[in-house]
Amino acid sequence: MIELARVVGDDVVTTDPDIVAAYAHDQSRLTERGTPVAVLAPRTTAQVAACMTAAHRLGVTVIARGAGSGLSGAANAVDGSVILSLHRMNRIVSLAPANRVAVVQPGVVTGDLRAAAAAARLFYPPDPGSMDFSTVGGNIATNAGGMCCVKYGVTGDFVLALEVVLADGRIVRTGRRTIKGVAGYDLTRLFVGSEGTLGIITEATMRLVSPPHPAHTLVASFPQLAGAGRAVSGIVGAGLTPSMLEILDHTTVRAVDALARMGLGNDVHALLLIQSDGPDAAQSITRIEQLCLDHGASETAISDSADEGALLLEARRLALPALERLGNWLLDDVCVPLTKVTTLIESIELIAARHSLTIGVFGHAGDGNLHPTIIYDEHDATSRDSAFAAFNDITRCALDLGGTVTGEHGVGRLKKQWLAAELGATALDVHLSVKRALDPRNVLNPSAVFDTARIPATESS
């Protein structure tokens, strides 16, 4: 650390044990984590480059970190590593309404970018649940999603260009600000979702869009899960594109009711929460309501008021807090084809019974991305083992249904054993070849995403 401090400056390096410990891991559960020896907190791209140049030369492992809000362990330290925190690089560099782009540093809070876009009468759609404290850099690194994804897409759909510091300290710029451009490989997409394994994002050019029309909100209660599934398929099949299409299962509905006393009812086996924000929002939400009724909804409620809409959506926003009250929790993140959403939920109910666990399911029915939440007792080894076994059973089930092991939280350390199962040997080797090419000494987050034993470090300078 003495040489690192000499190269990058004492004001960038922190070795105070209490401060370092606060940066040692993200919010994931049951993930491996070690003890870092220092935190690096650069203020500029040049300082990030100096950090990486020194770390590369010394062979020091570097773990990039945004706000630490991740749920897959991608920002967890390994023993002897340094944490490179981007929290000081938190400026909105520029916002150009005419070109509908914003240039931001990685430490900008996602909600702050949304607010700045709104002030310019524009809209930044990605809305992960951690929007009020997660950062744009972390969102890009995991290609984060949110409830608006069904209509607007995920974070990566709004990344036009990046500035990235590579493992050896070199700086590369990818992408462009133009609407079109196909010169060279799409390196921007390569870094999006790379979870800090290929480079450190130090600046991002983000696409903005026109603000949406006032939203109309619908809540539909179903006495049978299958009816909710048929309604989702019917909405998509009718060519309707709501801006939000969320689902809560019976366990989650009961947990929310116990927390907020919303009177949702014990006979509700699925709750759909839907918004439409297009120019024809009123007609669209009316058609969606009728489809829900046609497929067995027992009760519906519609509002065109923003305040009332927020109240109707409160059940979705309370889903995780309500389940947290039941015990320790392990949040999964899987995605399946839309026609398999209810099949997955039904399978999770069987998995819960098999392992004698409570598992609540909520998530984004409109794009098939669900968040099964496993309740367990972290002080009981048997309960922890059961939770992890159920977690793996759910992940396997998603793959068997033609889905993916992660829709928006990333692989991190939690699911790296599942990445190989999803990709297959050849695709995995291609991934590892890219990793070796950009990080030959394997200093960037070596314990995340891949099995490090398959990425031998070289002595390349």
- For residue 186, give the CATH number of its domain: 3.30.465.10
Q: Which domain holds residue 185?
A: 95-207
For residue 127, which of 90, 160, 154, 105 has the smallest C-alpha distance? 154
Instruction: Give me the CATH number covering residue 289.
Output: 3.30.70.2190
Sign of the dihedral defined by the CA atoms of residues 301, 304, 308, 312, in that order: positive
- Residue 101 and residue 200 share a domain: yes
**pLDDT band at residue 395 under the 50/70/90 scheme:** very high
Instruction: Decide if 419 is inside a domain.
Output: no
**pLDDT band at residue 9 under the 50/70/90 scheme:** confident
Predicted local distance difference test score (pLDDT) of residue 370: 96
Three-state secondary structure call for residue 382? helix
Q: How buried is 194 (Cβ within 10 angstroms: 0-12 exposed, 13-18 middle, 19+ buried)?
A: buried
Residue type present at position 102: A
- Residue 221 and residue 199 share a domain: no
Distance CA 40, CA 56 (A): 14
Instruction: Decide if 347 is inside a domain.
Output: no
Instruction: Decide if 256 is inside a domain.
Output: yes
Predicted local distance difference test score (pLDDT) of residue 453: 54
Q: What is the mean pLDDT of residues 280-289?
A: 96
| Boundary of a domain, candidates 27, 60, 85 | 85
Predicted local distance difference test score (pLDDT) of residue 111: 96
| Termini Cα distance of the chain | 20
Instruction: Decide if 348 is inside a domain.
Output: no
CA 285 centroid distance within chain? 28
Predicted local distance difference test score (pLDDT) of residue 151: 94
Predicted local distance difference test score (pLDDT) of residue 456: 56
Please give the mean pLDDT across all residues of the chain: 94
Instruction: Decide if 382 is inside a domain.
Output: no
Predicted local distance difference test score (pLDDT) of residue 455: 60
CA 65 centroid distance within chain? 14
- Residue 99 and residue 201 share a domain: yes
Mention every residue, 6+ apart, whose C-beta is less than 8 A from residue 6: none
Q: What is the mean pLDDT of residues 253-280?
A: 93
- Residue 139 and residue 106 share a domain: yes
Predicted local distance difference test score (pLDDT) of residue 1: 63
| Neighbouring C-beta atoms of residue 107, cutoff 10 Å | 22
Per-position b or e across 359-373, b if 16+ CB within 10 A of its CB = bbbbbbbbbbbbbbb
- Residue 182 and residue 106 share a domain: yes
- Residue 126 and residue 202 share a domain: yes
Instruction: Decide if 406 is inside a domain.
Output: no
Instruction: Decide if 452 is inside a domain.
Output: no
Per-residue pLDDT of 411-461, as tens digits, reads 999 999 999 999 999 999 999 999 999 999 999 999 999 976 556 555 544
Q: How buried is 460 (Cβ within 10 angstroms: 0-12 exposed, 13-18 middle, 19+ buried)?
A: exposed
| Boundary of a domain, candidates 85, 112, 135 | 85
Distance CA 95, CA 312 (A): 33
**pLDDT band at residue 139 under the 50/70/90 scheme:** very high
Per-position b or e across 200-219, b if 16+ CB within 10 A of its CB = bbbbbbbbbeeebeebbbbb
Q: And the tokens for 332?
A: 């999964």
Task: Please state the domain count of the chain.
Answer: 3
- Residue 197 and residue 105 share a domain: yes
Name the pTM for this structure.
0.93
- Residue 49 and residue 12 share a domain: yes
- Residue 203 and residue 103 share a domain: yes
Q: What is the mean pLDDT of residues 357-375?
A: 96
Q: What is the mean pLDDT of residues 7-27?
A: 91
Per-position b or e across 129-153, b if 16+ CB within 10 A of its CB = bbbeebbbbbbbbbbbbbbbbbbbe
Predicted local distance difference test score (pLDDT) of residue 461: 43
For residue 295, which of 244, 223, 243, 241 has the smallest C-alpha distance? 223
- Residue 291 and residue 236 share a domain: yes
Q: What is the mean pLDDT of residues 137-141?
A: 97
> At residue 2, does pLDDT exceed 90?
no
Q: What is the mean pLDDT of residues 349-368?
A: 96
Per-residue pLDDT of 312-329, as tens digits, reads 889 999 999 999 999 999
| Boundary of a domain, candidates 312, 331, 359 | 312
Predicted local distance difference test score (pLDDT) of residue 458: 56
Distance CA 312, CA 317 (A): 10
Q: What is the mean pLDDT of residues 343-356?
A: 96
Instruction: Give me the CATH number covering residue 28.
Output: 3.30.43.10
- Residue 180 and residue 217 share a domain: no
Instruction: Decide if 81 is inside a domain.
Output: yes
Three-state secondary structure call for residue 372? strand
**pLDDT band at residue 177 under the 50/70/90 scheme:** confident
Distance CA 394, CA 195 (A): 23
- Residue 179 and residue 109 share a domain: yes
